[in-house]
Amino acid sequence: MRPVTGPGRRGVLGGLLALAAPVRAARRTDWHPLAADVRAEMAWAWDQYRARAWGKDEIKPVSGGSSTFPLKGQHLGLTLIEALDTLWVMGLDDRFADGVAWVRDHADFALDGEVSVFETSIRLVGGLLSAHHACGDPMLLARARDLADRLLPAFATPTGMPYRFVNLLTGAVRDPATNPAEVGTFLPEWGTLSRLTGDPRYHDAAMKAVRACYARRSRLDLLAVKIDCRTGEWLDRRATIGSYADSFYEYLWDGWQLYGDRECKAMFDTCIAAILRHQRDRRDGRLWFADVDFETGAILNTRQDELASFFGGLLAQGGHARDGIAYTDSWAAVQARYGVLPEEWDYAAAAPTQLGNALRPELADAAFTLWLLDRDERWRHLAADHFRAMRRWHRAAYGYTDLADVTTKRQADHCPGYWWSEQMKYYWLIFSDTPRFDYRRNYLSTEGNVLLGLVR
Ligand code: DMJ
């Protein structure tokens, strides 16, 4: 692997796009009061978690209970670990130190139970690495390495693509029917681990898995959504930019930005060209991306995961600013209609097909990424709308919760770990102009973990 050289994935091309989309001076706003609101909400939610669910994976913000994830029935401190670099970049230093002390004294991954390899890596390995980036404590790196070592047995397959689940204690694996996202979302965390430890196994395992999946693309250069990690046979024909595929494409770009890896860039360019060619679909003047048959390109459905709403930022990073902005505008119009995006949207019917919202960060992610690229104030307005809607409808007695129904705003009772790592950080970074973050040279993972760009 190569050392970190280029600008971070959300920091590149700023000057170029600024020419295409100049900042509108007339709409200048002082965003710092909103940044202070975001920080205050983070501190309040953390204090609720500290009081009622300390060390648990996830707080139930309505009832005050807790739930486990990604291990069934046993807690790993997911929320706490996901929150660490957000607390640090907000300057909530006492709370950050409290969290690091919990990891030092209580984090234990030698537990007899199975976890999702993908979720554990992006959330926990990534969370520990970003916390290490924030403070340099070698204990955090050691914990990240210990956990990655427990995931490694999943990669011992004939293709190099990992099983979906592994037992943290025994290394027993389960479920070979995997997908591009769960195969190709490792390189930034695992490459960072290799760089910091000098052990190339992590980077090499991540890269081998990506190559194996990419090599099996169709003649249209499209990937389907389900693949057997033992044989490399596709188990489905549907190509999507949404769930089960999304971060595969994101991490191809990231491999290029973080390591200057030309192979990743070439794979990214090939995949994105195919998506733009075969999946781009315009309805009523709006840009969407259809699910298509990966071998024929025939449209299979017009449903769109909320998860895909990050994709506009990725397109712009990859040099497709016009499409990236148009796609983000499509989602912004849905947000304007409901306040909060539904989990799934049928763009042909212009109606939601899944009414919930799992406290999702993706549109704020796209706004932040686009803003880093062109500094257009409209992205700050979009992020502000996202934050204000969240504060209005997702706030509960003991924190922020998901919604059961975006049309009625009926609350469920669950705060996912990513809330602490993703949108709260995106809002803060886009509004605060904090000196703790290098706005020109940085890298945030798919989970919002900052692996490059924290300024100590
Ligand atoms: C996060 O865990 C990551 O962003 C992942 O890539 C998919 N989306 C969830 C949050 O919605």
3-state secondary structure of 117: helix
The CB of 360 under 6 Å from ligand 1? The reply is: yes
Given a cut of 90, whether residue 409 has pLDDT beyond it is yes
3-state secondary structure of 164: coil
Instruction: Give 3-state DSSP helix, strand, coil % of the chain, rounded to 5.
Output: 50, 15, 35
CB atoms within 10 A of CB 282: 11
Determine the straight-line distance between the first and last CA of the chain, rounded to whole angstroms: 26
Given a cut of 70, whether residue 393 has pLDDT beyond it is yes
Taking the C-alpha atoms of residue 361 and residue 422, their distance in angstroms, rounded to an integer, is 6
Supply the residue whose CA is at minimum distance from atom 8 of ligand 1.
307
Q: Which letter does DSSP use for residue 214 in this model?
A: H
Q: What is the pLDDT of residue 371?
A: 98
Residue 362 annotated among the catalytic residues of the structure: yes
Q: Which letter does DSSP use for residue 318 in this model?
A: T
Tokens representing 183? 């195969």
* Lowest-confidence segment of 17-31, 251-265, 285-299, 391-405 by average pLDDT: 17-31
pLDDT mean over 158-178 = 98
The reported pTM is: 0.95
pLDDT mean over 181-201 = 98
Given a cut of 80, whether residue 6 has pLDDT beyond it is no
Index of the ligand 1 atom closest to the CA of residue 185: 6
Q: Which residue reads 């904090």 in tokens?
A: 434
Given a cut of 50, whether residue 3 has pLDDT beyond it is no
* 380 CA to centre of ligand 1 in angstroms: 21
Probe target for ligand 1 pocket from 400, 422, 423, with the most ligand atoms within 8 Å of CB: 422
Are 195 and 3 contacting, i.e. CB atoms less than 8 angstroms apart?
yes
Tokens representing 366? 């796209």
Given a cut of 60, whether residue 116 has pLDDT beyond it is yes
pLDDT mean over 263-292 = 98
Taking the C-alpha atoms of residue 287 and residue 332, their distance in angstroms, rounded to an integer, is 12
Give percent of the chain with pLDDT exceeding 70.
94
Exposure class string for 233-247: b at 16+ Cβ within 10 A, else e: ebeebbbbbbbbbbb
Contacts of 33 (CB under 8 A, 6+ apart): none
Given a cut of 80, whether residue 11 has pLDDT beyond it is no
Q: Give the pLDDT band (50/70/90) at residue 7.
A: very low
Q: If you average pLDDT over every residue of the chain, what do you get?
A: 95
* 116 CA to centre of ligand 1 in angstroms: 13
Residue 58 annotated among the catalytic residues of the structure: no
Given a cut of 60, whether residue 350 has pLDDT beyond it is yes
pLDDT mean over 57-81 = 98
Q: Give the pLDDT band (50/70/90) at residue 122.
A: very high
Each residue of 194-217: pLDDT tens digit?
999 999 999 999 999 999 999 999
Give percent of the chain with pLDDT exceeding 90.
94
DSSP string, 47-61: HHHHHH-TT-SEE-T
Q: What is the pLDDT of residue 380?
A: 98
Nearest to 292 by CA among 369, 240, 252, 335: 240
Q: What is the pLDDT of residue 101?
A: 99
Supply the residue whose CA is at minimum distance from atom 3 of ligand 1.
447
* 418 CA to centre of ligand 1 in angstroms: 7
Q: What is the pLDDT of residue 25?
A: 47
Given a cut of 80, whether residue 145 has pLDDT beyond it is yes
More reliable by pLDDT, 283 or 4: 283
Q: What is the pLDDT of residue 346?
A: 98
Contacts of 158 (CB under 8 A, 6+ apart): 230, 231, 232
The CB of 447 under 6 Å from ligand 1? The reply is: yes
The CB of 194 under 6 Å from ligand 1? The reply is: no
Q: What is the pLDDT of residue 27?
A: 56
Cis peptide upstream of residue 176 (ω within 30 degrees of 0): no
CB atoms within 10 A of CB 28: 10
Given a cut of 50, whether residue 187 has pLDDT beyond it is yes
Q: What is the pLDDT of residue 28?
A: 82
Q: Which of 182, 254, 306, 343 is labelled catalytic?
A: 343
Residue 343 annotated among the catalytic residues of the structure: yes
* 287 CA to centre of ligand 1 in angstroms: 22
Domain ranges of the chain: 14-452
Residue 422 annotated among the catalytic residues of the structure: no
The CB of 421 under 6 Å from ligand 1? The reply is: no
Each residue of 289-332: pLDDT tens digit?
999 999 999 999 999 999 999 999 999 999 999 999 999 999 99
Q: What is the pLDDT of residue 26?
A: 54
Taking the C-alpha atoms of residue 27 and residue 19, their distance in angstroms, rounded to an integer, is 18
Q: How far is CA 348 from CA 199, 283, 424, in A?
A: 49, 7, 32
Biggest CA–CA distance in the chain, Å, is 61
> Options 1.50.10.10, 3.40.50.720, 1.25.40.80, 3.20.20.70; which CATH number does 14-452 get?
1.50.10.10
Given a cut of 50, whether residue 143 has pLDDT beyond it is yes
Q: Which of 85, 246, 323, 374 is labelled catalytic?
A: 246
More reliable by pLDDT, 235 or 10: 235
Q: Which of 119, 306, 374, 422 is labelled catalytic?
A: 119
Each residue of 239-250: pLDDT tens digit?
999 999 999 999
pLDDT mean over 272-293 = 98
